[in-house]
């Protein structure tokens, strides 16, 4: 289990426990955290689970695969370094303390 902090665009923080094996997107969905829409249900077929990963976590997460890179092109205001799709981040114990920030909107 990992404790993950989701920060809404307005600054509201939600820190929740997410079970290992779920994705960061599923953790948001299961805890009713606003700001991650996940329209495709985690199939990496949209960009509505886009977040900005806290810069201290950039080197700690698995690298983006090509499909995620392609979908991020459709995200609202993506950042080449910190943008990730939460459906592509499977939680491990190493994710404990992860901080993600939601963009102003999802598209």
The span from the CA of 54 to the CA of 68, in Å, is: 18
Q: Enumerate helices (H) and strands (E) in the chain, giving the number of each.
A: 2, 5
Tell me, yes or no, whether 107 lies in a domain: no
| CATH code of 39's domain | 3.10.20.30
Tell me, yes or no, whether 42 lies in a domain: yes
Pairing of strands 13-18, 2-7: antiparallel
DSSP string, 22-33: SBHHHHHHHTT-
Count of domains in the chain? 1
Q: Would you give per-residue pLDDT tens digits along the chain (107 residues)?
A: 999 999 999 999 999 999 999 999 999 999 999 999 999 999 999 999 999 999 999 999 999 999 999 999 999 999 999 999 999 999 999 999 999 999 999 99
pTM: 0.96
Tell me, yes or no, whether 65 lies in a domain: yes
Tell me, yes or no, whether 30 lies in a domain: yes
Q: What is the pLDDT of residue 102?
A: 98
Tell me, yes or no, whether 26 lies in a domain: yes
Q: What is the pLDDT of residue 27?
A: 98
């Amino acid at each position: 289990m990992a404790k993950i902090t989701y920060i809404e665009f307005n600054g509201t923080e939600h820190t929740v426990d997410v079970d290992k094996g779920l994705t960061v997107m599923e953790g948001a969905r299961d805890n009713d955290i606003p700001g991650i829409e996940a329209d495709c249900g985690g199939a990496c077929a949209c960009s509505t689970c886009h977040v900005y990963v806290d810069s201290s976590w950039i080197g700690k997460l698995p690298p983006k695969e090509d499909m995620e890179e392609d979908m991020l092109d459709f995200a609202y205001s993506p950042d080449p370094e910190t943008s990730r799709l939460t459906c592509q981040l499977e939680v491990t114990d190493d994710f404990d303390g992860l901080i993600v920030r939601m963009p102003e909107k999802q598209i």
